[in-house]
């Protein structure tokens, strides 16, 4: 249907030839193009509907207006489609239909968001430094116990010296396998520290994977978290042990003997108290240790694992020496066996033992022998006398066989065997007998 528009205007002259004659022109026009008349009720499409919205501007003609697109969202509610600029109407019907098509694709893909939905919270970029600090503050060991003070300090040092300088300001999700490889290849430190730094990075990012902070762990360098022992285990021979103990001041000799024959660590020895020793049963109970913190203080802590809490058999030849030491140097049930030289209630400092030990080993002609090697010596002696693997693990406080298996038959004995037997019964060696240790 055509709408006719009549225009009347006076013309100075027209085809009639009469000046001043008014002519009326009839202009046939069709609105809108294509023959369809704007319909405020709208037309239903395959998805949603579009309708013409007349302009409410004063003086606007009937054909002026914009198009609106409506649809039912995946939330079951009716919504109005919006243009890229956010407008709820469109200039043409085709624009409105295209908007419906885009919405339908989003709904089918599951990415549609209701126009009136609240704006998503801004995404917080978590840097490696921030995540690592939070990880360290909340990290626990098996059983839910917090990290030991020394362990926490060690991790903090690795982060500060090796990880944060490279990854600290980088977003956690932006750390890639190539970036880790470049960092690892350029890390200038010893093999042990390098392996420990990589292992810490891998563990932190492994936690991030578990928590959904990153999709995958970028630490994928095989063997990078392992290192060969920088120094081969070299336990003392019986003659070397006798020689170095003989060069120690008398008050330190029992400490070295127990380090060797009972395979105890320095921190375990310095926390031993009279109540931990049972001379009737011939045993010593290891339940605590003492470590020095970065600030110089001393902290008493439990062993690293449940296996570290153990009762160790004392070789029979050592019992009289321990009894004499307790009678002469230890006061009270909770008295320390090896306290500070200046205060019997304070723990011995590592530096104190180091000073006398270094002097003694030089005089004994064994400058290579470290105090911790005495523990290795005790492990080898137990293995050589036929201790089973389970006995060796129990004596050393190891939770896995791998650590105990570092003391094989290459040290001159049969090595640990899987058979019943008593370590205590086998330790009847006469080296450093009571009364003999001072004569070396």
407 is catalytic: yes
372 is catalytic: yes
From the candidates 44, 102, 372, 433, give the one annotated as an active-site residue: 372
From the candidates 51, 202, 325, 398, give the one annotated as an active-site residue: 398
Q: Provide the residue count of the chain.
A: 440
Number of separate domains in the chain: 4
The CATH number of the domain holding residue 433 is 1.10.443.10
d(CA 330, CA 337): 6
Q: Which residue has the tokens 């969202």?
A: 73
Same domain, 193 and 169: yes
Q: Domain limits at 4? A: 1-30
- The one-digit pLDDT tens for each residue of the chain (440 residues) are 334 444 444 444 444 444 444 444 333 333 444 444 455 555 666 789 999 999 988 888 888 999 999 999 999 999 999 998 889 999 999 999 999 999 999 999 999 988 888 877 777 889 999 999 999 999 988 777 888 888 899 999 999 999 999 999 999 999 999 999 999 999 999 999 999 999 999 999 999 999 999 999 999 999 998 877 656 778 889 999 999 999 999 999 999 999 999 999 999 999 999 999 999 999 999 999 888 777 767 888 877 777 778 999 999 999 999 999 999 999 899 999 999 989 999 999 989 999 999 999 999 999 999 999 999 888 888 877 777 778 778 788 877 776 666 665 445 444 444 333 333 333 433 333 333 333 33
Same domain, 93 and 185: no
The answer to whether position 232 is within a domain reads no
From the candidates 253, 317, 375, 427, give the one annotated as an active-site residue: 375
From the candidates 70, 79, 265, 395, give the one annotated as an active-site residue: 265
In terms of DSSP H, where are the helices of 333-429? 350-364, 373-384, 389-396, 401-404, 423-426
The answer to whether position 102 is within a domain reads yes
347 is catalytic: no
Same domain, 87 and 168: no
Same domain, 255 and 346: yes
Same domain, 363 and 422: yes
**Is the separation of the CB atoms in 65 and 54 below 8 Å?**
yes
375 is catalytic: yes
Same domain, 296 and 260: yes
Q: What is the pTM of this model?
A: 0.58
The answer to whether position 190 is within a domain reads yes
From the candidates 51, 361, 407, 427, give the one annotated as an active-site residue: 407
Same domain, 107 and 169: no
Same domain, 74 and 12: no
In terms of DSSP H, where are the helices of 110-214? 128-138, 149-158, 164-167, 177-186, 191-210
The answer to whether position 35 is within a domain reads no
């Amino acid at each position: 249907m055509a709408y006719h528009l009549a225009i009347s205007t006076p013309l100075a002259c027209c085809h009639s030839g009469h000046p001043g004659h008014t002519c009326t022109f009839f202009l046939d026009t069709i609105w809108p193009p294509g023959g369809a008349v704007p319909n405020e009720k709208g037309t239903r499409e395959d998805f949603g509907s579009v309708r013409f919205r007349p302009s409410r501007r004063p003086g606007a003609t009937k054909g002026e207006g914009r198009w609106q697109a409506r649809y039912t969202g995946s939330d079951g509610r009716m919504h109005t489609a919006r243009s890229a600029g956010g407008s709820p109407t469109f200039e043409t019907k085709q624009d409105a239909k295209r908007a419906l098509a885009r919405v339908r694709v989003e709904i089918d893909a599951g990415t549609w968001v209701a126009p009136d939905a609240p704006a998503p919270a801004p995404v917080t970029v978590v840097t490696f430094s921030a995540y690592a600090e939070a990880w360290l503050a909340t990290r626990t060991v098996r059983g839910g116990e917090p990290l030991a003070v020394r362990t926490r300090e060690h991790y903090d040092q690795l982060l500060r010296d090796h990880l944060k300088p490279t990854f600290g300001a980088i977003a956690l999700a932006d750390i890639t396998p190539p970036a880790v490889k470049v960092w690892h290849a350029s890390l200038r430190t010893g093999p042990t520290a390098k392996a420990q730094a990589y292992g810490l990075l891998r563990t932190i990012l492994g936690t991030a994977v578990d928590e959904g902070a990153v999709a995958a762990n970028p630490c994928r360098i095989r063997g990078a978290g392992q290192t060969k022992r920088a120094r081969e285990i070299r336990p003392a021979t019986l003659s070397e042990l006798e020689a170095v103990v003989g060069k120690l001041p008398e008050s330190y000799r029992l400490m070295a003997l127990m380090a060797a024959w009972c395979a105890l660590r320095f921190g375990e020895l310095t926390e031993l108290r009279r109540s931990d020793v049972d001379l009737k049963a011939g045993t010593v109970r290891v339940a605590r240790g003492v470590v020095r913190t970065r600030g110089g203080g001393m902290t008493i802590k439990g062993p690293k694992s449940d296996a570290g809490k153990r009762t160790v058999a004392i070789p029979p030849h050592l019992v009289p020496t321990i009894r004499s030491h307790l009678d002469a140097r230890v006061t009270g049930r909770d008295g320390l066996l090896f306290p500070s030289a200046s205060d019997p209630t304070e723990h011995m400092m590592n530096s104190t033992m180091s000073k006398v030990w270094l002097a003694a080993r030089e005089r004994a002609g064994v400058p290579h022998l470290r105090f911790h090697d005495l523990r290795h010596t005790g492990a080898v002696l137990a293995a050589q006398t036929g201790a089973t693997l389970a006995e060796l693990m129990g004596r050393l406080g190891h939770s896995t066989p791998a650590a105990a298996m570092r003391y094989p038959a290459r040290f001159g004995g049969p090595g640990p065997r899987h058979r019943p037997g008593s370590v205590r019964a086998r330790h009847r060696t006469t080296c450093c007998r009571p009364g003999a240790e001072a004569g070396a």
